[in-house]
Amino acid sequence: MGSSHLGSSFDRTAEHVRLVRAGMDLGLPIHTSRCYSDGQALNLLKLAFREAPSRVPPVMAKIYCYNAAQIRLDVEEILERLKLDRLPIGQLAKNDHRKREIVDDILAEGPMFEALCELREKGLVGHWTFEVFQKYTADALRALENDLFDSVGLYLSAVAREADAATWKRIADRRLSVVAIRGLAGGLADPAHDASAGKPGKPAEWVDQRKQLTDLYERSGCASWAEFSVRFLFSLPQVRTTVIATGKPERLAENRRLCDEASPLPEAIVRQILQRQDDWTAGRTFDPNSPWQ
């Protein structure tokens, strides 16, 4: 269950707490960050966890890897605020996608490497996963070539993939586990949410890319675009789990059902989706001065 939208409005506190409780009752793990909604997402999770401490689910958290002190601070703050003993997964992330200095640091066994080892040895983090964005492909490839991580997290759905063909091939060849973040492309895997395209984290190009898959969707036999995207994800042997956010409790239950019942798409359709994703990523250009694009 994604939590990036939680705490976006103080007027919706009770609504968001109910949403988290619904996810907890479904046994959904939670993906969060101390930066979501300027820290309010953690406050909403804390309120929900306090109501039902016996039902607190596993939490995967973004840990910002700007330096060793920041890594330690993020882990300590999240554990303290949510009253947790450990994070099963720490997703090494940054808000600047131009470079990942942590790759060089780990290769040199520098301060950030020492912090990662220390936090694991203390049992505060069970596992580190490396966040992949296409803009820093060179750093991602070096991390993969040197086997620095055995799992990665990236935006991945039928309509979007934040990894070019070479990076995706390396992930597959290394048989790395994949956390598919935004498994329904922030809602844009469903035409019903096209009006939200262009908002932060919802590139309009994802709508265009979904439309380019219409022929495959119509051949798939799926009852909805959401089913199509979920079945695509679980057709990939690398994908271990997906992070999907929604503001509606009933959608949480439906998304859980789709994941539980997902069967692979026909192999020919999966191959064609992957080929089109290769083509989409090959055509992308980036502003070198922009930390995000």
**pLDDT for the residue numbered 24:** 94
Residue pLDDT, tens place only, 154-181: 999 999 999 999 999 999 999 999 999 9
Residue 240 belongs to what domain range? 10-282
pLDDT recorded at residue 237: 93
pLDDT by residue (tens digit) across 116-133?
999 999 999 999 999 998
Question: What pLDDT is attached to residue 292?
Answer: 61
| Cα–Cα distance for residue pair 53/50, rounded to 1 Å | 6
Residues in the chain: 293
* Overall number of domains in the chain: 1
> What are the b/e assignments for 202-213, b being 16+ CB within 10 Å?
bbeebbebbeeb
Does residue 4 lie in a domain region? no
Task: Report H helices in the chain.
Answer: 13-25, 40-51, 68-82, 102-107, 111-121, 137-145, 165-173, 205-211, 214-220, 225-233, 249-261, 267-282
CA distance 291 to 197: 21
Q: Please give the distance of CA 135 from its chain centroid, rounded to a whole number.
A: 16
> Is residue 110 a part of any domain in this protein?
yes
CATH code of the domain covering residue 55:
3.20.20.100
pLDDT at 291: 66
To the nearest 10 degrees (0 to 180), the angle between helices 40-51 and 13-25 is 60
Residue 223 DSSP one-character state: S
Distance (Å, whole) CA 108 – CA 124: 23
- The pLDDT of residue 184 is 86
* Residue 291, in any domain of the structure: no
pLDDT at 1: 86
pTM assigned to the model: 0.90
Residue 156 belongs to some domain of the structure: yes
Going residue by residue through the chain, which has 293 residues, state the pLDDT in tens, using 9 for 90 and above: 888 888 887 888 999 999 999 999 999 999 999 988 888 999 999 999 999 999 999 999 999 999 999 999 999 999 999 999 999 999 999 887 778 899 999 999 999 999 999 999 999 999 999 999 898 888 999 999 999 998 999 999 999 999 999 999 999 999 999 999 998 888 878 888 888 887 777 788 899 999 999 999 999 999 999 999 999 999 999 998 898 878 888 888 998 999 999 999 999 999 999 999 999 999 887 777 776 65
Q: Does some domain include residue 263?
A: yes
Question: Would you give the end-to-end CA distance of the chain in angstroms?
Answer: 25
pLDDT reported for residue 136: 83
Identify whether 1 is part of a domain. Answer: no
In a domain, 249, yes or no: yes
